[in-house]
Amino acid sequence: MGSKVLILGMFLLFLGCENDDAQTVARFTTLVWEDNFDVDGAPDPNRWGFDLGDGTEQGIPGWGNDELQYYTDRPENVTVQNGFLLITVRQEDFNGAEFTSARLTTQGLFERAYGRFEARIRVPFGQGYWPAFWLLGNNCDENPWPACGEIDIMENVGDEPTIVFGSVHGPGYSGGDSIGKDYELTDDRFDTGFHVFGIEWSPEFINYYVDGDLYQSITPEDIDEETDGEGQWIFDRPFYIILNVAVGGNLPGPPNDETVFPQTMLVDYVRVYEQ
């Protein structure tokens, strides 16, 4: 892995020089699906459905991570306004949970293998927030996670406002052993303005980018090397899109006294392109 990163790094450096700092981060340009959130009100039901509750009904209380929120589809937690999707996290007693939020998915509405998946997002901030833009394999019902696969395009924990991470989960490389990388802004933050998060996914690679920076490429060979041959590339079937903000849980830890509620994740658009 080390040598590959180095080679990639040199390659990027080259591109940077050639193109006057304008890196080519994506090549798939044929738009196949998008939501620009142009109509105020509830999200378009032809594009988005909801995962509701605290995961108990799905058999994974706390959504498998001891998360603290209860997902609803109430306008208090999810709405479209002025061209943006708003997912708002509130601190309130609700069905036994201390926080409410929302989780939108395109499951059963839009699922596909390969392509360029991109969204423009502003995240909340503060200890305990865990916003994400990610994909899940569409056969998790028959082939339980992690075997069905997960591609995390953007995750952030609220106490690290300058860092996002992109990763993949599959059999032999899931949870804390997922394969991925951090991307850090050195002179900006992810909670004070919008940033573009995307992947370009083909049978040979998943490339991750933030704004104009390609920062990671994960290939079947990487998975093989990282897992000593145990892991399997399972990213050759349709996946669906998820947008959510979790609170607490194993990754970010619980909110503290200084965490500000309510807060909102803003999504300007979600777009999918093919080659």
Residues acting as catalytic residues: 150, 155
Among 23, 143, 162, 232, binds other proteins (CB under 8 A): 162
- By beta-carbon proximity to other proteins, the closer residue of 213 and 224 is 213
Does the footprint of other proteins cover residue 225 (CB under 8 A)? no
- By beta-carbon proximity to other proteins, the closer residue of 86 and 168 is 86
Residues of this chain, 29-48, that bind other proteins according to CB under 8 A: none
Does the footprint of other proteins cover residue 158 (CB under 8 A)? yes
Residues of this chain, 244-273, that bind other proteins according to CB under 8 A: 258, 260
Task: Residue 167: count other Cβ atoms within 10 Å of its Cβ.
Answer: 21
Min dist CB 101 to other proteins, Å, is 19
Does the footprint of other proteins cover residue 88 (CB under 8 A)? no
Does the footprint of other proteins cover residue 156 (CB under 8 A)? no
263, 77 in Cβ contact below 8 A?
no
Report the alpha-carbon distance of residue 251 to residue 88 in Å, rounded: 20
Does the footprint of other proteins cover residue 91 (CB under 8 A)? no
- By beta-carbon proximity to other proteins, the closer residue of 48 and 183 is 183
Does the footprint of other proteins cover residue 126 (CB under 8 A)? yes
237, 229 in Cβ contact below 8 A?
no
- By beta-carbon proximity to other proteins, the closer residue of 116 and 195 is 195
Does the footprint of other proteins cover residue 125 (CB under 8 A)? yes
19 Cβ contact list (under 8 Å, min separation 6): none
Among 30, 81, 95, 192, binds other proteins (CB under 8 A): 192
Nearest Cα residue to 100 out of 267, 268, 263, 257:
263
Does the footprint of other proteins cover residue 65 (CB under 8 A)? no
54, 71 in Cβ contact below 8 A?
yes
Among 115, 131, 146, 161, binds other proteins (CB under 8 A): 161
Report the alpha-carbon distance of residue 32 to residue 272 in Å, rounded: 6
Q: Please identify, among the stretches 71-79, 97-105, 154-162, 205-213, the one whose residues bind other proteins according to the rule CB under 8 A.
A: 154-162
Among 160, 213, 224, 268, binds other proteins (CB under 8 A): 160
Min dist CB 182 to other proteins, Å, is 14
Min dist CB 185 to other proteins, Å, is 7
Chain contacts with other proteins (rule: CB under 8 A): 125-127, 158-162, 185-189, 191-192, 258, 260
